[in-house]
Structure 1
Amino acid sequence: MPIVQTESEHKSPVNGSYFARVNPADGGCLLEKYSEKYRDFGFALLANLFASEGQHGKVIEVKAKRRTGKLNFVTCMRQTLEKHYGDKAVGMGGTFIIQKGKVKTHVMPAEFSSCPLNSEEEVNKWLNFYEMKAPLICLPVFVSKDPGFDLRLEHTHFFSHHGEGGHYHYDTTPDIVEYLGYFSPAELLYRIDPPEETHSYGRD
């Protein structure tokens, strides 16, 4: 869960990132603050990242309570943008807090799969799934439409102050869930190091 403030003329760099891993002792989730001793756990696979100058300005506030449909919080916002803007790709980033309720999440095993994962079913068997409880601090990035870059249209990881974190799928308590988020639109989109071969597995 990358949260980084880069160095500037008046401020030193700050790395407030977290990472989640599977506890080898009991199969549970371990959430830890990133530090130099964990640099080998660094950027290893993929990420959707939102960068800003961190200046004061207007943002979009979104409040939601009680899920009534099948889509998760991020997908609802992304599809709303797609419906409004059509073929124009609009990217957003920010943060939201799940204030009440529980969510389905996954954490990847410590070791990458020794063989290719060739279906959604194989990916799901490899991942470790959990149900985690609020409050959860989420870091979403989503794009309304892929402009031909082979993008993962939405990606949200989260951390907490009670030892839980991972990849957000959807809430499991629709009757009581509460969300509060703040978002900004992106001005530029960069696609770095796209794979030579691609697929759609595990993109929810």
Structure 2
Amino acid sequence: MADVSKTEKAKLHVPDLEELRAVLQTGLEDNFAEVKVSVVECPDLTKEPFNFPVKGLCGSPRVTDVGGVPYLVPVVQKHKEYDMNAISKELELPGAFILGAGAVSSRIVGMNAELMPLVLTEADGRPAVNSSYFSSINPVDGQCLQERYSHKFSDCNFGLLGNLYACEGRPGKVIEVRAQKRTGDRSIVTALRKTLEVQYPDRSLALGGTFIIQRGKAKIHIMPREFSVCPLNSDEEVNSWLKHFEGLDLRVEHTHCFSRHGEGGHYYIDTTPESVQYLGYFVPAEFMYRIDRPEAVGRD
């Protein structure tokens, strides 16, 4: 198991929600024909279409960057394995609800695969609830195979890297984003990030949350089941190793997604800009935690 005691913490700028609403409304209009950003009560996420193990995205919101791409390329470091329950303690939030993007533990799963974490971590004798999904390349037909993690495994581990949002999972006020008919060249995630960069150039801030593609298709990638036997030293080599798919009606957390129709993985952008419809709920994080930072600088 990787050493998670190597943790750095930074306080983030947290704008007033109404201020943030206005900023995102204006910024997203540069990338979508129809935009409506509101401050609302978080919907009950235990219900359809989310089916999360908690009701909301509020309560001590924080983000963390665990491990990193240098543990995957140019040469994989399989010993870099992490436990969500231990991560929640490093985030000073034992029992946290954690969602985001990561990779499975190849030691446990027996292969390389994309992980879509949805974990209510253990606390005060309460066992963890792991509602995560993972996606791999089906060896039978070479297509995407999406599976519920708890149907095969009982742990809360992940490997190599994780970009995660954590909170108490409580109801509360959130930013609701409705956007459709993409007119720019940015994904919904990139459009949100670029808007914040422009508005707050000298501040550090982050949004965590979840969004749904209510209509349209998206480009995703899935890492092969086997790690590359050769060092991946360039973006071209990485891209040739990855396998790309296009899916329908995806529900996306951060940059990883899962769906009702059995496809999931790393989200890039929608591929149907004329018809795409997004619905998302976001919260500004109060703190950023960098856990087990690699010495080398990695790729996105």
Deviation for aligned residue 1:8: 4.2
Deviation for aligned residue 1:66: 0.6
- Candidates 80, 93, 116, aligned match of 2:195: 80
- Candidates 173, 179, 184, aligned match of 2:272: 173
What are the residue-to-residue correspondences of 1:1-20 with 2, within 5 Å?
1-8=116-123, 12-20=127-135
Structure 1 partner of 2:283: 184
Deviation for aligned residue 1:197: 1.3
Deviation for aligned residue 1:36: 7.1
* Runs of 4+ residues over 6 Å off in structure 1: none
CA 1:177–1:191: 2 relative to 1, 3 Å:
same
Deviation for aligned residue 1:6: 2.0
TM-score normalized by the length of structure 2: 0.59
Within 1, Cα distance between the matches of 2:261 and 2:130?
Answer: 20
CA 1:20–1:52: 2 relative to 1, 3 Å:
same
- Secondary structure of 1:98's counterpart equals strand
Q: Tell me, yes or no, if structure 1 residue 60 matches structure 2 residue 175.
A: yes
Within 2, Cα distance between the matches of 1:47 and 1:188?
Answer: 16
Contact 2:120-2:129 within 8 A present in 1 as well: yes
What are the residue-to-residue correspondences of 1:118-197 with 2, within 5 Å?
118-134=233-249, 136-140=250-254, 156-197=255-296
Letter in 2 for 1:65: Q
Deviation for aligned residue 1:191: 0.6
Structure 1 partner of 2:145: 30
Residue-by-residue CA offset, 1:34-76 (whole Å, 9 max, x unaligned): 0274469941221100000112211000000010011111000
Letter in 2 for 1:132: G
- Candidates 18, 28, 49, aligned match of 2:164: 49
Within 2, Cα distance between the matches of 1:171 and 1:192?
Answer: 31
Within 1, Cα distance between the matches of 2:138 and 2:155?
Answer: 17
> Whose Rg is larger?
2
Q: CA RMSD in A?
A: 1.9
Within 2, Cα distance between the matches of 1:40 and 1:24?
Answer: 24
TM-score normalized by the length of structure 1: 0.85
Q: Tell me, yes or no, if structure 1 residue 111 matches structure 2 residue 210.
A: no
Contact 2:130-2:156 within 8 A present in 1 as well: no
Seq. identity, % = 57
Contact 2:248-2:261 within 8 A present in 1 as well: no
Within 1, Cα distance between the matches of 2:150 and 2:280?
Answer: 27
Residue correspondences, number: 185
Within 2, Cα distance between the matches of 1:126 and 1:41?
Answer: 27
Runs of 5+ consecutive residues of structure 1 not aligned to the other structure: 141-155
- Secondary structure of 2:190's counterpart equals helix
Residue-by-residue CA offset, 1:94-129 (whole Å, 9 max, x unaligned): 100001110110000111111221111111100010
CA 1:10–1:198: 2 relative to 1, 3 Å:
closer
Deviation for aligned residue 1:161: 1.7
Deviation for aligned residue 1:16: 0.2
Residue-by-residue CA offset, 1:157-194 (whole Å, 9 max, x unaligned): 00012211111000000000000000011111011111
Letter in 2 for 1:133: L
